Amino acid sequence: MSDNTQPIRDIVASVLQAAADKQTLTIRGGGTQQFHTGLVHESTALRLDRYTGIISYEPSELVITVRAGTPLRSVESMLASRGQQFAFEPPRFGPNATIGGMVATGLSGPRRSFSLALRDAVLGIKIINGKGEVLSFGGEVIKNVAGYDVSRLFCGSYGTLGVILEVSLRVMPRPPVELTVVRETRTADACQAIQSVRQQVPNLSGLAYDSGRLYCRLAGSEASVAKSVALLGGEVSEQAAGFWRQLKDQELPFFREPGPLWRVSVPPAAPQGNFGARFVYDWGGGLRWIKTDATAEQVRAGTGQLGGSAVLFRSEESRLLDVSASLSAPAIALHRRLKSAFDPMGVFNPGLLFPAGQHHAD
């Protein structure tokens, strides 16, 4: 694979050229999330999808190091062939999703609330900053407190701080047994039902609600899973693997219905909230996908009261993810200073996450 790898110096050259010309660059992996990272125009695109390949993978070390442009699907099938997986179950919003995009957007799937988040699994990173410098932080070991945790800072930074070149991730063994029990549950009872399963069942690996059904995924040894199945009642679903995939990849019918999609992150035991909304719940109630006629202000204020936050994830009006409404003024100022610390000329993904500030171009 390393033969057809694009050399790092080409990518560095593009960054230096853009900085010199006072141009901006839009970093593009597989281009599967343009619905909220903005449409990429060829003229300003910095493409990473030719920087591919698994650099090292030793199953006994539980670590894999991958180039950013590598398709997520090929990495996941490599892990599966050795009985391992990413514990955070990353979503794929298209077949071309890349490892770099996965880390840059920082999203985790259904297992997140029972295991690790993506950012928890990131051990090290190699980046290019806005000055065109290739820098490495962290490494391949689980415990590492040398220097600030730049690797995790890049998780969910949407490419605004720099180009992710390579990343080392912790992988986990697949559980010996994993199966899903489905229970019919009325919409009005969804929160309550989730809450009681969370309290009752110790070996969950997924707990979600969609269209009148509660999905409880159990993981562990044959014996412990059987016990929890008996405890839960309900029926063991044969098609559940498809459900969990459709949930994380946003392919359930709910996601295809018209209307803006909100991503609401709250403490899992929070009540339903009052948005007159249609919803899908993931993460045992901690992640709520919502479609509602309420205004943005109402949604944000409502989730704030529940102790969490809401981000407009997909909408026809806005294609540029903007989280600044959820941040205090000093927090936005700090975000801008951090961006400047990595990208002083403001080369990368301007306007994504928060409106571009003034840059000290020197």
Partner 1 sequence: MQKITRAELAAELAGGLPAGAVLAQPEQIAPFECDGLAVYRQTPLLVVLPESVDDVRHVLQVCSRHAVPVVTRGAGTGLSGGALPDKDGVLLVMTKFNRILDIDEDNRLARVQPGVRNLAISDAVRPYGLYYAPDPSSQIACSIGGNVAENAGGVHCLKYGLTVHNVREVTVVTIDGEVLTIGSAAYDSPGYDLLALMNGSEGMLGVIVEVLVSLQPIPETTRTLLAAFNNVEAASDAVAAIISEGVTPAGLEMMDNPAIRAAEDFVHAGYPVDAAALLICEMDGLSDDVEAEIRLTEGLLKRAGATDIRTARDDAERALFWAGRKSAFPAVGRMSPDYYCMDGTIPRKHLAAVLKTMETLSEESGLRIANVFHAGDGNLHPLILFDANVPGELEKAEQLGSKILQTCVELGGTVTGEHGVGMEKLTPMCVQFNAGELTQFHDLKAAFDEHGLLNPGKAVPSLHRCAEFGAMHVHDGQLPHPDLPRF
Residues of span 246-265 touching partner 1 by CB under 8 A? 265
Find how far residue 284's CA is from the centre of its chain.
17
Residue of the chain from 73, 227, 245, 359 that contacts partner 1 (CB under 8 A): 227
- How do beta strands 63-67 and 54-58 pair? antiparallel
Please say whether the beta carbons of 200 and 231 come within 8 A.
yes
Told to check if 275 binds partner 1 by CB under 8 A, we report no
Decide whether 236 or 331 has the Cβ nearer to partner 1: 331
Which range binds partner 1 by CB under 8 A, 8-16, 43-51, 130-138, 229-237?
A: 130-138
Q: Which is nearer to partner 1, 182 or 204 (CB)?
A: 204
Q: Does 141 bind partner 1 (CB under 8 A)?
A: yes
For partner 1, the binding residue among 273, 286, 302, 346 (CB under 8 A) is 286
- Under the criterion CB under 8 A, does residue 202 sit at the interface with partner 1? yes
Neighbours of 66 (CB within 10 A): 26
User: Whole-angstrom Cα distance, residue 22 to residue 312?
Assistant: 30
Nearest-angstrom CA–CA distance, 156 and 139: 19
By CB under 8 A, which span of 67-75, 90-98, 245-253, 329-337 interacts with partner 1? 329-337
Taking CB under 8 A as the rule, does residue 203 contact partner 1? yes
Examine residue 63 and tell whether it contacts partner 1 (CB under 8 A): yes
**Residues 113, 282: Cα–Cα separation, whole Å:** 9
Paired tokens of 69: 């442009």
Binding to partner 1 (CB under 8 A) within 102-121 occurs at: 106, 112-113, 116-117, 119-120
- H-helix segments, the chain: 8-20, 34-37, 72-81, 99-105, 118-121, 150-153, 190-200, 222-232, 240-248, 253-256, 296-305, 329-342
Question: Could you tell me the two tokens for 156?
Answer: 């969910």
Q: Quick check: 302 binds partner 1 (CB under 8 A)?
A: no
Determine if 308 is a binding residue for partner 1 (CB under 8 A). Answer: yes
Looking up tokens 């539980």, which residue turns up? 62
**Alpha carbons 137 and 167: distance in angstroms, whole number:** 10
Residue whose pair of structure tokens reads 């230096």 in the numeric block? 16
Q: Does 59 interact with partner 1 (rule: CB under 8 A)?
A: yes
Name the minimum Å distance from CB 133 to partner 1: 4
User: How many residues bind partner 1, per CB under 8 A?
Assistant: 77
Q: Which of 143, 186, 256, 360 binds partner 1 (CB under 8 A)?
A: 143
**How many other C-beta atoms are found inside a 10 Å radius of the C-beta of residue 293?**
11
Report if residue 287 touches partner 1, rule: CB under 8 A: yes
Span near partner 1 by CB under 8 A; candidates 22-30, 66-74, 253-261, 283-291? 283-291
| Closest alpha carbon to 73 in 218, 249, 201 | 249
Q: How far is the CB of 126 from partner 1 (least distance, A)?
A: 11
Q: Measured from the CB atom, is 75 or 194 closer to partner 1? A: 194
Stretch that binds partner 1, among 88-96, 134-142, 240-248, 249-257 (CB under 8 A): 134-142
The residue among 48, 9, 67, 52 whose CA lies nearest residue 159 is 48
Min dist CB 333 to partner 1, Å, is 9
CB nearer to partner 1: give 11 or 47.
11
Neighbours of 221 (CB within 10 A): 12
Contact between 320 and 267 (Cβ < 8 Å)? no
Contact call for residue 12 and partner 1 (CB under 8 A): no
Which position among 10, 17, 20, 61 is part of the footprint of partner 1 (CB under 8 A)? 61
Q: Which residues, numbered 78-107, are part of the site for partner 1 (CB under 8 A)?
A: 83, 106
Alpha-carbon distance of 112 to 88, in angstroms, equals: 5
